Structure 1
Amino acid sequence: MRYVLQKIVFYIVAFWAALTLNFVLPRLMPGNPVDIMLSKLAQRGPVTPETRQAIELLLGTDSQQPILDQYVQYMGQVLTGNLGISVTFFPAPVSQVISQTLPWTIGLIGISTVISFLLGVGLGQLAGWKRGSWLDNVIPVTTMFQSVPYFWLALILVFLLGSVWQIFPINGGYDVWETSPGWNAGFIGSVIYHGTLPALTIVLSSIGGWMLGMRNMMVSTLSEDYIVTAEAKGLRPRRIMTTYAARNAVLPSVAGFAISLGFVVAGSIVTEAVFSYPGIGSALLQAVGSNDYALMQGIFLVITLSVLGANLLVDLLYSLIDPRTRARA
């Protein structure tokens, strides 16, 4: 119980620190979202000082308000779920923009990350158990995909599978002409069809790292004394591989998976940009280009919550997998 309380307190403090950085960093960037909004309004007519002041109050960037007061106001808005108004998608609230883009990112990046982790760990376990086999020799090829620049791999797949052979669509999240959003077979099938190519890019670029890490940990674990003891007892090889070797070898991969899963919410900006995918990564890219403080802060807040939450769950899971963790607390 003490171990759990220590972890919860630590992550509460980390969350407060992340919120403070989330407030400070966008305000250190050059530019002003109010000026961007005024430039848009100026195309329709003259802008009065009263209009400027109203927009500053609306966006929470009142230049006349002290920075400390802005910080207190920001913390209060976060606690009440009010993330402000987006400049990029004005007049839509930030919470609405996030709620519309986040499911696309979680569906694509989340499922792809889980698939690459399960395949990589499973294949790495077999490669480490059967050293020198054909599967073990394939690992350098898979790691080559990981070393290839991400955008280049995505462009190659778009060119081969989207343009040359035209197997998959090259942009969008679904067919806007033939399907309408909803829980129906046509829309779900269209989403899966459009998401296959970007998902394949993510899996190919990340599976090699999981395989290599799990393979090396399996080789190191198999030389431990308790593995030799299990073999001397005459236990079945499958039981030794899964219960004794893989259970201990997978611990570093679980920690890495937690970090990867936490950053799923951030999306893959490169992937979503190449495939014009309507995820939160594309929204973040547009927010940075428009100096949209509110949207950037909202997205960073969601990313922070997901990363801290994933790491907290893994710390608690570690205490179940490895009891030595609780003993050191």
Structure 2
Amino acid sequence: MSYYVRKLGFYVVALWAALTLNFLIPRLLPGNPVDILLAKLQQRGGTVNAETRQAYTLLLGGDDSQPLLVQYGSYLVNTFEGDLGVSVTYFPAPVSEVIATSLPWTIMLIGIATVLSFVIGVSLGAFVGWKPGTWLDSLVPATTLLAAVPYFWLALILVYFLASTLGLFPSQGGYDVVLNPGWNLEFIGSAIYYGFLPALTIVIASLGGWLMGMRNMMVSTLSEDYVLTAQAKGLSNARILRGYAARNAILPSIAGFATSLGFVVSGSVVTEQVFSYPGIGSKLLSAVTNNDYALMQGLFLFITIAVLGANLVVDLLYGLIDPRTRARS
């Protein structure tokens, strides 16, 4: 029980530190966010006066006239109430609404692609590592070569061959624009059709890393005493593979999978940009381009919570999968 209490305490402190940094970083950057937005407004022919400045200050969820500690307290209260401010880029939409409309797209695309690449890569890695030196082992460098190719290059290659040349898939968008978004088979089928090419890009780019990591851990695990003992007892190869070798070899991959799954919320900025996909990654790029500090803070907060939450779940599961972890703690 003490193991789980310590883990929960650690992540509570980490969450508080992340919230504090999320509050401080925009205020420590050179220049004032309000001044930057006012300058942009003035360049576009807008009128800038004291009332305009006050409106922009309140829009960003702060008040320069208050002490920093008071602003920090207001920020924490507003955050826990779900008030993340108003997006300048998508004005007058609140930041929480912008994130809520984009998050399902990213979770469906990046989340499913990440899970698929993990399952396929780990399964192939366990099989290849079980019999090292075979012809299958010689194919591993090819998958790692694909992992070294930048996302945007791989995405552009797939778009050229599968979308532009063969016309099998659309090259841009998240669904057919003539359809009304909703939970119906026609729209869901369109979303799957449009999301296949971006998902394929992520799976191909991520597969090699999982495969190589699992393969190397399997080769190392096969020389352990408990595996040799299981073989001496005459246990079947399938039981040794599942219950002894793969179960222990997969532990480092699970830790890496937690981090990857947490970053699903951030989306793949490059992939979403190449395919004009309506996910969190495109919203983050728009926020940075337009100096939308409220939206940036909201997105960074969601990314942080997702990463911490995913790691917390895996840490708790780690104690169940490997009892030695609890004993060492």
Deviates more, 1:2-11 or 1:45-54: 45-54
- For each residue in 1:303-327, what CA deviation from the matched residue of structure 2 results, as whole angstroms up to 9, or x when unmatched? 1111111111111111111101111
Three-state SS of the structure 1 residue aligned to 2:136 is helix
CA distance in structure 1 between the aligned counterparts of 2:112 and 2:235, rounded to whole angstroms: 36
Q: Match for 2:78: what amino acid?
A: Q
Aligned 8 A contact 2:57 2:63 in 1: yes
SS for the counterpart of 1:127 is helix
Q: Are residues 1:67 and 2:68 paired? A: yes
CA contact (8 A) 2:33 2:291 kept: yes
2:204 aligned residue: 204
Structure 2: runs of 5 or more not aligned: none
Paired letter, 2:266: A
Change over 3 Å in CA distance of 1:282–1:31 after alignment to 2? farther
Relative distance call for 1:42 and 1:219 in structure 2 (3 A) is closer
Aligned twin of 1:27:
27
After TM superposition, the structure 1 = structure 2 runs for residues 239-318 of structure 1, keeping only pairs within 5 Å, are 239-318=239-318
In structure 1, the partner of 2:321 is 321
Hey, what does 1:157 align to over in structure 2? 158
- Say which SS state the counterpart of residue 291 (structure 2) adopts: coil
Structure 1 range deviating more: 63-72 or 4-13: 63-72
Structure 1 residues 1-329: aligned runs within 5 Å: 1-30=1-30, 32-35=32-35, 37-38=37-38, 39-40=40-41, 43=44, 46-177=47-178, 179-329=179-329
What is the rounded CA distance, in whole Å, between the counterparts of 2:23 and 2:236 in structure 1?
57
Give the 3-state SS of the residue equivalent to 2:282 in structure 1: helix
CA deviations 1:270-291 (Å, max 9, x no partner) are 0011111000011011111111
Structure 1 residue identity aligned to 2:328? R
**Can you list the C-alpha shifts for 1:80-124, whole angstroms capped at 9, x where unaligned?**
111111111111000000000000000000000000000000000
CA distance change for structure 1 residues 242 and 155 in 2, over 3 Å: closer, same or farther?
same
**2:154 counterpart letter in structure 1:** L
Q: Conserved in 1, the CA contact under 8 Å of 2:175 and 2:194? A: yes
Q: Which stretch shows the higher mean deviation, 21-30 or 247-256?
A: 21-30
Distance 1:211 1:17 in 2: 35
Inter-partner Cα distance in structure 1 for 2:26 and 2:152: 26
| Aligned partners of 1:31 and 1:291 also within 8 Å | no
Aligned residue type for 1:200: L
C-alpha distance in structure 2 between counterparts of 1:158 and 1:45, whole Å: 41
Higher deviation after alignment, 294-303 or 127-136: 127-136
Deviates more, 1:65-74 or 1:106-115: 65-74
Change (3 A) 1:310 1:113: same
The CA distance in 2 between the partners of 1:60 and 1:120, in whole Å, is 44
Query: Deviation at 1:164?
Result: 1.3
Per-residue CA distance 1:31-82 (angstroms, 9 max, x = gap): 5443455444875753331122122123224333332222121111111111
- For structure 1, the residue ranges without an aligned partner over 5 or more in a row are none
Q: Shift of residue 234 of structure 1? A: 1.0
**Offset, 1:180:** 1.2
Q: Distance in 1 between matches of 2:91 and 2:43?
A: 15
Q: Give, in angstroms, the shift of residue 161 of structure 1.
A: 1.1
Which residue identity does 1:118 align to in structure 2?
A: V
Q: Is the 1:174–1:191 Cα contact (8 Å) retained in structure 2?
A: yes
- Given that residues 262 and 306 in structure 1 are in contact (C-alpha distance below 8 angstroms), is that contact kept between their aligned partners in structure 2? yes
CA distance in 2, matches of 1:89, 1:105: 18
Aligned amino acid, residue 281 of structure 1: G
Q: d(CA) in 2 for partners of 1:72 and 1:127? A: 54
Tell me, in whole angstroms, the C-alpha distance in 2 between the residues paired with 1:135 and 1:113: 23
Whole-angstrom CA distance in 1 between matches of 2:33 and 2:286: 13
TM-score by length of 2: 0.96
Alpha-carbon distance change, 262 to 45 in structure 1, aligned in 2, over 3 angstroms: closer
CA distance in 2: counterparts of 1:126 and 1:181, whole angstroms: 42
Q: Secondary structure at the match of 1:134?
A: coil
Letter in 2 for 1:13: V
Q: Distance in 2 between matches of 1:166 and 1:30?
A: 48
Looking at structure 2, the residues matched to 40 and 163 of structure 1 have their Cα atoms a distance apart, in angstroms, of: 40
**Are the aligned partners of 1:36 and 1:290 in contact in 2 as well (CA < 8 Å)?**
no
Moved more, 125-134 or 234-243: 125-134
RMSD in angstroms over aligned alpha carbons? Answer: 1.5
